Amino acid sequence: MNFSHQPVMVDEVIEYLITDPKGIYIDGTAGTGGHSIEICRRINTDGRLICLDVDRAAIKLANERLSQFKNVATVVKGSYVNLGVILKKIGVGKVNGILLDLGMSSYQLESSGKGFSFSRDEPLDMRMDEDMDVTADELVNNLSREKLEALIWNYAQERWAKRISKAILKERRKCSIHSSKQLAMLIGAAIPDKYHPRSIHPATKTFQALRIAVNRELDNISDFLKSAPQLLERGGRLVVLSYHSLEDRIIKHTFRRWDSGTIYPRRLPVIPEGKHSVMKTVERKAIKPSSKEVNFNPRSRSAILRIAERV
């Protein structure tokens, strides 16, 4: 499995994440190992990196790419949402840093065969984790028109959600929709040509909405952020790369609550109630990729980096 993926904002991620070269770090969305490799290069032999992912193919590729760092890197199949349970199972307490890169890797888009791409005739799967029950195929072919419209609007703010959901229902009366290319063409036809976006495929937002729904992406982020502080050592950092406004809104608002001293006492009984700042933002403003990086790696253009530190 020879595949090249360019990780986003590597220098910035490493600068903010690694506070102690001998510490324990988590790459919670390792993918094909792009950021993981750079983390391994910056920690010493006393340090440790634990890489998580739910995609079996990505895990296999990450293991191959990280084989040269097997003394410090461990790859585990699992979701970052369950990080506390995973750490307990492998005998690790608190850690010095956690990285989440919430974007899609080039491998997932171009080579996974799961229907993430609009240009390929692939099954409408979209599950990052093949052990999950619901596929994009099931949502597209079984949801009511009203629920499809709500899904497309709520998870992508697609202004043509109503037209797209009507087109899907009309197509379903003739035949089921099973391929990504079939769905992409249907969406393109549902949106008037003069309103097709110039920089992205007209099906981009609908595909995003389906992917988010299938993988519970927004719920996962919210759930993880509620438990993240108790997983970090004092001075440990949470570094998050997000790529669209819905993700960033959850992260930004959570970080603001942390700065104001608002916590989750029921979820985190080890932290006292009241106005007690357990986390603080490291940079008030979100960090975005340089124009040089965007020119080199256009997929980085929508990246937003935020950092919080356990205090």
Domains and CATH numbers, the chain: 10-107+217-310 (3.40.50.150), 114-215 (1.10.150.170)
Evaluated on CA atoms 252, 256, 259, 263, the torsion sign reads negative
Structure tokens, 96: 């010095």
Rounded Cα gap, residues 136 and 158, in angstroms: 17
Please tell me the predicted confidence (pLDDT) of residue 266. Answer: 40
Burial of 99 (0-12, 13-18, 19+ CB in 10 A): buried
Please tell me the predicted confidence (pLDDT) of residue 263. Answer: 53
Alpha helices in the chain (DSSP H): 10-17, 34-42, 56-65, 83-89, 106-111, 136-142, 145-156, 161-174, 180-190, 204-215, 217-227, 245-260, 291-296
| Average pLDDT by stretches of 10, the chain with 311 residues | 72 97 97 94 96 93 94 96 96 97 79 84 94 96 98 97 98 96 97 92 96 96 96 98 95 94 50 65 95 92 96 94
**∠249-253-256 over CA atoms, to 5°?**
145
Structure tokens, 218: 């927004």
Burial of 307 (0-12, 13-18, 19+ CB in 10 A): buried
Please tell me the predicted confidence (pLDDT) of residue 142. Answer: 98
Structure tokens, 58: 């990505």
DSSP assignment of 236-297 equals EEEEEEE-SHHHHHHHHHHHHHHHHT---TTT-TTS-SSS--SEEES-SSPB---HHHHHH-
**∠234-242-206 over CA atoms, to 5°?**
150
Evaluated on CA atoms 209, 257, 224, 110, the torsion sign reads positive
Rounded Cα gap, residues 203 and 227, in angstroms: 35
Please tell me the predicted confidence (pLDDT) of residue 262. Answer: 62
